[in-house]
């Protein structure tokens, strides 16, 4: 699947804004999101649609993995990660190295099944990722994800719902496939995951107080396991 690549400057701004949100007026929303990364555990972890926060996410895991792989379709993400002198990113990369976390970044399409991922991962996470696919493609993606997880493995899905973004920002997110024009709702999303063979073990929805300022009305975080 071909998409228009987001410019590296766009990725840079996206990354810096994320860190401003964590420390600033959206700290409650960010804390909710990051708290669910604590459900990531095990020695082998896959971050789908990892984005520029690939390294930053590690410090929130409940267990440091020995193998950590990021898959993203946007090459600009990896150019930014490799070339940026952002101090937060440099610290996050140093943390991974000091803790002997073997990291691998792969530019590719998540809809394409990867045989080398079969039964490989203890945890898989997608932050703002699964909601960027239409329903038919989401089913394909979840079929792949199910095969990638080991028995007893966890899938962590965090998504944003109820769009209040300014028009220009919304256009850019759609253009670079950071979002979808018509999104599957919260309840239907869970049903699709369950039909794909996942068991919901935890779900929480954060209702944003200042929706228009934040740009979204709700954040949903879910933890799934493979049905036995």
Please report whether residue 2 resides in a domain. Answer: no
Please report whether residue 3 resides in a domain. Answer: no
Please report whether residue 1 resides in a domain. Answer: no
Tokens of 109: 């399409």
Q: Give the global pTM.
A: 0.95
77-112 pLDDT tens trace = 999 999 999 999 999 999 999 999 999 999 999 999
C-alpha dist (Å) from residue 167 to 151, 160, 212: 43, 17, 12
Please report whether residue 121 resides in a domain. Answer: yes
Tokens of 15: 């990354």
The 3-state DSSP class for residue 218 equals strand
17-64 pLDDT tens trace = 999 988 888 999 999 999 999 999 999 999 999 999 999 999 999 999
140-169 pLDDT tens trace = 999 999 999 999 999 999 999 999 999 998
DSSP 110-172: TTS--GGGTT-EEEEEEES-GGGS-HHHHHHHHHHHHHHEEEEEEEEEEEEEEE---HHHHHH
CATH code, domain carrying 176 = 3.40.50.150
Whether 106 contacts 80, CB under 8 Å:
no
Domain that holds residue 60: 8-226
Q: Would you say the C-alpha torsion 139, 60, 128, 112 has a positive or negative sign?
A: negative
Whether 150 contacts 121, CB under 8 Å:
yes
Q: Total domain count for the chain?
A: 1
Please report whether residue 89 resides in a domain. Answer: yes
Please report whether residue 96 resides in a domain. Answer: yes
């Amino acid at each position: 699947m071909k998409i228009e690549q987001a410019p590296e400057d766009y990725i840079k701004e996206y990354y810096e804004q994320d860190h401003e949100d964590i420390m600033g007026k959206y700290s409650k929303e960010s804390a909710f999101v990051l708290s669910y990364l604590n459900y990531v555990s095990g020695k082998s972890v896959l971050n789908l649609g990892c984005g520029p926060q690939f390294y930053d996410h590690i410090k929130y895991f409940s267990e440091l993995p020995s193998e950590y792989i990021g898959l993203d379709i946007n090459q600009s993400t990896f150019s930014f990660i490799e070339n940026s002198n952002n101090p937060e990113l440099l610290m996050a990369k140093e943390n991974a190295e000091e803790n002997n976390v073997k990291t691998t970044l792969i530019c590719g399409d998540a809809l394409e099944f990867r045989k080398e991922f079969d039964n490989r991962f203890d945890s898989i996470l997608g932050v703002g990722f699964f909601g960027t696919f239409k329903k038919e493609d989401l089913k394909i993606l979840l079929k792949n994800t199910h095969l990638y997880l080991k028995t007893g493995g966890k899938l962590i899905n965090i998504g944003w719902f109820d769009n209040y973004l300014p028009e220009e920002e919304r256009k850019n997110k759609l253009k670079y496939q950071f979002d979808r024009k018509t999104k599957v709702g919260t309840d239907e999303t869970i049903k699709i995951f369950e039909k794909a063979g996942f068991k919901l073990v935890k779900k929480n929805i954060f209702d944003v107080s200042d929706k228009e300022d934040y740009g979204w009305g709700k954040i949903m975080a879910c933890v799934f396991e493979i049905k036995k």
